[in-house]
Chain A
Amino acid sequence: MSELNRREFVKLCAISSMGLVIGMPRHGDARVTAQELHPLIKIGSDGQIIIYAQNPDMGQGVKTALPMIIAEELGVDWASIKVKQAPWDSRLTNQFSGGSLSIRLNYNTMRQAGASARAMLIAAAADRLGSPVEELETRQGYVIDRPGNRRLAYADLAEAAGALPVPEAPALKDPREFKLVGTSVADVDLDLICDGRQQYSLDLKLPDMLFAVVKRCPHGDGQPVSFDSSGAREIAGVVDFHVLKNTDHGGRIILPNCPNFVSGVAVLATTTWAAMQGAEALKVEWQMPAARDDSDELMQRFETALDSESEVVRSDGIIEFDDQEHSIAATYRLPFLAHVPMEPMNCTAHVKGDKVEVWAPTQNPPMAAEAVAKVLNVPQQNVTIHVLRSGGAFGRRYYADFITDTVLLSRQFERPVKTVWSREDDVRHGYFRPASVQRIRAATSAGKISHWHHKIASHPREIYLERDGSPAEIGNYEFPAGFIPNLLFDYAAVPARIPLGQWRATEHSSNVFAVSSAIDELADVAGIDPVRFWLELVGDEQFVQVRDDFRFDASRLRNVITVAAQRAQWGTPLSDGKGRGISASYNQGIWVAEVAEVTVSKDSLTVDRITCVIDCGLVVNPQGAVNQVEGGIVDGLAAALYGRITVKEGIVQESNFHDYEFCRIRDIPEIDVHFIDSNDSPRGLGEGPLPPVAPAITNAIYAATGKRIRDLPIQL
């Protein structure tokens, strides 16, 4: 850009007309307008620069981190800008939070957004000042003409800049000159949160709004037959009832990978409490489906399936177990897990004719828009999705099941409706992390792993969510594929009707437990220190070609293991009853090693310390990154200590935090988080730190006691 003069710049620009002027009246000042330079960047006529966070924030920090990247390239002072959450916008790509992808997929897009707006402002200044663009630079919201010693504020250039075409490939900063990215920035909503003013979707109140609580069929595949509202009608504030059948509105799965609402009867009321009491008092007769699974019985079916036919996911060399020097065969059992985000599921909608407005704590605005358009049979462009900060999500809000019933209710009652779920509704109608039974047989030769057979039986998401593709909940690229000459991954799909969905590091949260446990078991029978054994397995090569299209950087895995062992003082003596365990993984694009230190006395387990070393490339916001990693570790700890969903005759047995427990402060170890310095492009941190937690702990329990834990949650 700096080498081009203004005319060439315009000639090279893509022809696009994003720069429309839109009025943005404010309280008391209807004259303030805003000029859009990009769907995520607006400059008000009052000088206020607004940067929109593209992806939903559920506590993972992207409402801060994504705008930081834009601000860096735009050349504005962070303290001077205002950050807002973007509503669903069909012009944007990757506008969802899931798969630890918000930063990973959008880093370059955000840089380009900031850089193209900056280039447009420079071009407008060049025009205004009659200076060549190469003599112009930007600093903290101004374009500066060095030779002429003149400067123009972005706000004064915004209108002219907005009329220019958007450059397709603007020059980006040299990352070594970053001033904001890579520094710790407080969450943009921190002040609002600390004084209780942060508005969540559940806090929203619209004029004339009705509150709805849906009494859902205890089995997600069932339907209401009839209902008796005589008791519910007696409750002050209860207004009306409405039967909601998913069979009338697109079925149980409304889009591939997107469950629809569970059928039931909605109670409409003037307050949340009246609606909750009304639902409690309502009597509904259900038609239950014939197929009704038990989770315990399903685990038995998984176990049996380990000895039956399966889909081969990857096969290298020859798998035969006969006379190897050391071998193991171990079976690991992982339960269904729920999300239990702190803010129970809820949604507010207002349908006016064929126009729909939705306010939701959604992780996936484009999917929400598509599902809403489908269930109401309206064009997508008639749908507005306001994205509110979610009180946690963890994968649960990826879907639109909590949105589709709300829009139907608003259409029915021709008023704004807010649907509120109780915690019991949330636990009983979750989309769970698949349970599985996993068997690993492995053997060594000359102190290294020579044979590895990992077989998984589970009830796969692909079948439940009606997605195309292999149902296998193990990828052919997963570690240790590529590192062991004779290796077999196979998968047995056991169909069932227990609702499944994304969870934090979904299949990795299970598979890494089996892998890191088995490596530890094999190290033990081979009589080799686990860290040394891991390093032997990872080897000395920098790269390992795992698949034609996937070259794995083994040096980064070796590095995180080595640094984690050092930081955890691996090998130094511990007193009786204490032990250390190591685990490592590559998942969701990041390399992670964790060491747990535990104390076991009689039947009680204390996790004293977790050391976590991560290579995720460039860290955009170190403070936010540490928060996210600590959170992932605590979530992994909860899965190790407590998490288990039980299903009997198709009905979830747990209901609230007393029987689906989560960690409290007394459970929390000292946590040491360390990032490897890297200039590689940044990856997401939402999921990667979670899977190694449980096996690090169970391996530490083994080191402390000689007792091997192969089933989660841990029972000593």
Chain B
Amino acid sequence: MIRFTLNGEDYEFDGADDTPLLWVIRDGAGLTGTKYGCGVGQCRACTVHVDGRVRRACVTSVKAVADRTVTTIEGLSRDASHPVQQAWREANVSQCGYCQSGQIMAVAEMLERLPSPSDEDIDRQHRNICRCGTYARIRKAIHRAAELSREEAARE
């Protein structure tokens, strides 16, 4: 039995401990915002946070998150109000939308580490694939999310 915290709640998994976290989240917990895109850690559609850091759920075994805290897109904010989600809506980023949970999760964590990323930082650090090619708007939304986060921090 593997126990971990999933979006603030206790979760128990009673299967093979090498099961990828992705399938525990999707088929086990029924949280389908985390997407399967490649299964080999290439596309990052499955990006989640483990103890606040970006992890590719398709290449992370469930035993690696035992007693840790896992956050998925469903747990990123209470009401989709995270600055990255706000910026994504403002910029109309999505097309098919399939990769966007992973994009948003990756950017949310990047902004924790790099509150004001330059374009070069984004080029180096943001590696998620968007097959529809929404990248120009992703870049715009990252800068906007950074701005919104700074405004939020200033208010607090």
Contact = CB atoms under 8 A, between A and B. Distances in A.
A236 B16 contact: yes
A342 B99 contact: yes
Interface stretch (A529-537, A538-546, A657-665): A657-665
A195 B73 contact: yes
A342 B80 contact: no
B143 interface: no
Interface in B68-93: 72-74, 76-77, 80, 85, 88-89, 92
A193 B27 contact: no
**For chain A, what secondary structure do more than half of its interface residues adopt (helix, strand, loop), or is it mixed?**
loop
B85 A271 contact: no
B55 interface: no
B101 interface: yes
B39 interface: yes
B97 A272 contact: no
A662 B16 contact: no
B11 to A, nearest CB: 16
Contacts of B43: 342, 423, 657
A391 B123 contact: no
B32 interface: yes
Nearest to A61: B95
Interface in A334-356: 340-344
Interface in A533-564: none
A628 interface: yes
B24 to A, nearest CB: 8
Interface in A666-695: 666, 668, 670-671
A91 to B, nearest CB: 27
B23 A272 contact: yes
B52 interface: no
Contact of B123 (A342, A638, A657, A666): A666
B33 interface: yes
Central interface residue in A389, A390, A634, by most chain B CB within 10 Å? A634
Given A194-B80, A202-B36, A671-B136, A273 B27 contact: yes
B78 to A, nearest CB: 10
Contact of A193 (B34, B100, B136): B100
Nearest to B77: A195
Contacts of B94: 59, 187, 189-190, 193-194
A423 B135 contact: no
B127 A391 contact: no
A190 B134 CA distance: 13
B138 A60 contact: no
B96 A342 contact: yes
Interface in A692-712: none
B122 interface: yes
Given A187-B94, A271-B23, A271-B27, A341 B36 contact: no
B95 A194 contact: no
Contacts of B77: 195
Interface in A616-650: 623, 627-628, 630-635, 637-638
Interface string A154-193: 0000000000000000000000000000000011011111
Contacts of B89: 186, 190-191, 194
Contact of B45 (A342, A634, A665): A342
B118 interface: no
B137 A342 contact: no
Given A657-B43, A658-B42, A666-B124, A59 B80 contact: no
A627 B19 CA distance: 37
Given A193-B100, A343-B35, A423-B40, A657 B129 contact: yes
Contacts of A656: 38-40, 42
A712 B101 CA distance: 33
B26 A663 contact: no
Nearest to B120: A666
Contacts of B63: none
B64 to A, nearest CB: 15
Contact of A197 (B33, B38, B42, B133): B33
A191 B76 CA distance: 14
A631 B40 contact: no
B133 A663 contact: yes
B16 A391 contact: no
A59 B97 contact: yes
Nearest to B28: A271
Contact of A195 (B80, B127, B136): B80
Contacts of B37: 342-344, 423
Contact of B95 (A191, A627, A668): A627
B131 interface: yes
A203 interface: yes
A627 B128 CA distance: 18
Given A271-B23, A271-B27, A200 B42 contact: no
A206 B19 CA distance: 22
A358 interface: no
A16 interface: no
Given A190-B94, A273-B23, A627 B134 contact: yes
Contacts of A199: 32
B139 interface: yes
B30 A205 contact: yes
Nearest to A636: B133
A623 B76 CA distance: 27
Closest 6 CB pairs of A and B: A196-B33, A634-B133, A59-B96, A391-B98, A196-B73, A193-B97
Given A203-B26, A627-B134, A637-B133, 13 more contacts: A186-B92, A195-B33, A196-B32, A271-B23, A272-B26, A344-B36, A424-B39, A623-B92, A627-B137, A631-B133, A665-B123, A665-B127, A668-B133
10 contacts: A197-B33, A202-B36, A211-B27, A271-B27, A273-B23, A340-B131, A341-B131, A342-B37, A342-B129, A422-B39
